[in-house]
């Protein structure tokens, strides 16, 4: 019924109004976060989201065109299996392909290796179906660099 053919995380994007092509800027495979404890610690954002864009591009089978369905992204820890879903978004596509974009990645609770996944469900079903597409994401803490002063 529905299949994701591209999944990615980037710092920004632009849609060309004339060609309907999308440009993705700074694809992200590693998040360098400041320490969450100790000297120089920075707390996670108040809404719990890291300001990046999540993109999923979909292809629909002919019988799914015009039907209503929901999608969500899921950040999955490859170390512990912990999963953090995003908010659910509602869609109805009138074409065989469509694009979704979410603003904000759930702040991971610990450093480590993660996979961004995407799930969907029709309005008639309760459970989400997980697509096989995945985007690898490594989360590390980095110490802030000291300010450089010129004499």
* Residue 73 within any structural domain of the chain: yes
* Residue 150 within any structural domain of the chain: no
* Residue 148 within any structural domain of the chain: no
* Domain that residue 9 falls in: 2-141
Number of domains in the chain: 1
* Residue 33 within any structural domain of the chain: yes
Average pLDDT in the 67-83 region? 96
* Residue 27 within any structural domain of the chain: yes
Q: Cα 126 from chain centroid? A: 22
Is the pLDDT at 126 greater than 90? The verdict is no
Confidence of residue 42 (pLDDT cuts 50, 70, 90): low
By the 10 Å C-beta count (0-12 exposed, 13-18 middle, 19+ buried), 73 is classed as buried
* Residue 147 within any structural domain of the chain: no
Confidence of residue 39 (pLDDT cuts 50, 70, 90): low
Is the pLDDT at 46 greater than 70? The verdict is no
pLDDT tens-digit profile of 81-115?
999 999 999 999 999 999 999 999 999 988 999 99
For residue 82, what pLDDT is reported?
95
* CATH code for the domain of 13: 2.60.40.3880
Is the pLDDT at 41 greater than 70? The verdict is no
* Residue 115 within any structural domain of the chain: yes
């Amino acid at each position: 019924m529905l299949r994701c053919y591209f999944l990615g995380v980037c710092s920004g994007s632009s849609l060309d109004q004339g060609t309907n092509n999308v440009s993705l800027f700074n694809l992200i495979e590693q998040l360098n976060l400041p320490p969450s404890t100790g000297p120089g610690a920075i707390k996670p954002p108040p809404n719990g989201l890291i300001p990046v864009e999540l993109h999923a591009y979909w292809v629909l089978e002919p019988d799914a065109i015009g039907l209503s369905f929901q999608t969500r992204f899921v950040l999955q820890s490859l170390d512990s299996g912990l999963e953090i879903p995003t908010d659910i978004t509602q869609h109805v596509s009138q074409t065989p392909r469509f694009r979704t974009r979410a603003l904000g990645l759930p702040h991971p609770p610990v450093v480590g290796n993660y996979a961004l996944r995407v799930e969907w469900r029709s309005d008639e079903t309760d459970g989400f179906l997980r697509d096989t597409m995945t985007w690898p994401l490594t989360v590390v803490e980095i110490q802030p660099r000291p300010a450089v002063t010129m004499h």
